[in-house]
């Protein structure tokens, strides 16, 4: 009599040799784990806090207020003809998603060493879950920006500030920010696994990075002969693109976009390769 029981699931774990880019089939097989880790990141981030997810709204609003007072009213820096509040909030919208994703992925190996040492699953799932969970924060901040923009337009009916057709391309720019933060975050995660100095350096690096990115000043204030070099900072063009798409003003050219996208792809591919190389034996040195 033939058995009606289905054959037992067998998982074969084989060592990989050399540099292999991505095993897409394996990542897809662990999509349920990805969903659980995304929820874990979101639920634990604001556990035992009073405001909870409202911190996603409070932090950019306070930062925008400080930037408006200090850089616009005191230092009198140009905002490219845009209302200072919308100028800074729009720039922070892109920057905050990059900075949060970079910070959460750069400590992946060390922070999850206990979990990695107990059970096998694709290690790349953890930093990917951080990238996805930070989209929730981005969505809350985006809604805040839309509300403030609507209030501004209602009080300035004659203003021409507003999004154009290029706003439809915003998800592509957001995807670039996700790829960039993942690539550089994986580099830092691999380096931090062996040298803890990089855990300190990552916080210092993100502070300095803010000032070399056109967030408190427009890209138009950078001398034209230097703008190509600024584009090698791959966050600069996405930040300026956010302002162009959502507010209608920004200094973005095809050359700057090509440099920025090329730098992002280089960071992503090299970051994944380095991470996969270090994940094989990092547990022995953590």
Give residues with Cβ within 8 angstroms of 15, minimum separation 6.
Answer: none
pLDDT of residue 14: 61
For residues 285 and 66, what is the distance between their CA atoms, to the nearest angstrom? 43
| CB hemisphere CA count around 24 (13 angstroms) | 0
Burial of 197 (0-12, 13-18, 19+ CB in 10 A): exposed
pLDDT of residue 189: 87
pLDDT digits (tens, 9 = 90+) for 122-181: 888 888 988 998 998 899 999 999 999 999 999 988 888 888 888 999 999 999 999 999
Coil, strand, or helix at residue 196? coil
For residues 254 and 240, what is the distance between their CA atoms, to the nearest angstrom? 13
Which parts of the chain have pLDDT scores under 70? Answer: 1-21, 48, 282-286
What CA–CA distances, in Å, run from 150 to 83, 113, 159, 165, 174?
A: 13, 46, 12, 18, 22
What CA–CA distances, in Å, run from 192 to 110, 211, 283?
A: 7, 24, 12
For residues 161 and 179, what is the distance between their CA atoms, to the nearest angstrom? 29
In this structure, what are the phi and psi dihedrals at residue 217, rounded to the nearest 5 degrees? -145, 155
111 neighbors 104 (Cβ within 8 angstroms) = no
260 neighbors 229 (Cβ within 8 angstroms) = no
Indicate the Cα dihedral angle 71, 181, 52, 68, nearest 10°.
Answer: 10
Give residues with Cβ within 8 angstroms of 259, minimum separation 6.
Answer: 228, 231, 232, 237
Q: What is the pTM of this model?
A: 0.85
pLDDT of residue 164: 82
pLDDT of residue 278: 82
pLDDT of residue 162: 85
């Amino acid at each position: 009599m033939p058995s009606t029981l289905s054959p037992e699931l067998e998982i074969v774990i084989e060592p990989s040799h050399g540099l292999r880019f991505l095993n897409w089939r394996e990542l897809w097989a662990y999509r349920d784990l990805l969903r659980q880790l995304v929820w874990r990141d979101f639920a634990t981030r604001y556990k035992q806090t009073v405001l909870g997810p409202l911190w996603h709204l409070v932090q950019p609003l306070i930062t925008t207020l400080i930037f408006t007072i200090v850089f616009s009213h005191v230092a009198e820096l140009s905002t490219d003809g845009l209302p200072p509040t919308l100028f800074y909030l729009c720039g922070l919208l892109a920057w905050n998603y990059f900075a949060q994703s970079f910070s959460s992925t750069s400590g992946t190996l060390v922070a999850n060493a206990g979990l990695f040492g107990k059970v096998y699953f694709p290690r790349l799932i953890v930093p990917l879950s951080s990238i996805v969970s930070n989209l929730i924060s981005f969505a809350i901040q985006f809604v805040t920006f839309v509300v403030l923009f609507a209030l501004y337009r209602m009080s300035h009916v004659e203003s021409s500030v507003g999004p154009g057709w290029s706003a439809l391309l915003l998800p592509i720019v957001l995807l670039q920010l996700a790829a960039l933060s993942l690539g550089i975050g994986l580099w830092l995660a691999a380096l931090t696994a062996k040298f803890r100095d990089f855990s300190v350096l990552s916080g210092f690096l993100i502070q300095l990075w803010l000032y070399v990115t056109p967030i408190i000043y427009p890209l138009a204030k950078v001398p034209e002969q230097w703008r190509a070099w600024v584009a090698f900072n791959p966050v600069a063009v996405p930040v300026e693109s956010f302002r162009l798409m959502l507010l209608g003003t920004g200094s973005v050219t095809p050359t700057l976009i090509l440099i920025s996208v090329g730098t992002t792809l280089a960071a992503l591919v090299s970051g994944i390769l380095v991470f996969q190389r270090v994940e094989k034996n990092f547990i022995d040195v953590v």
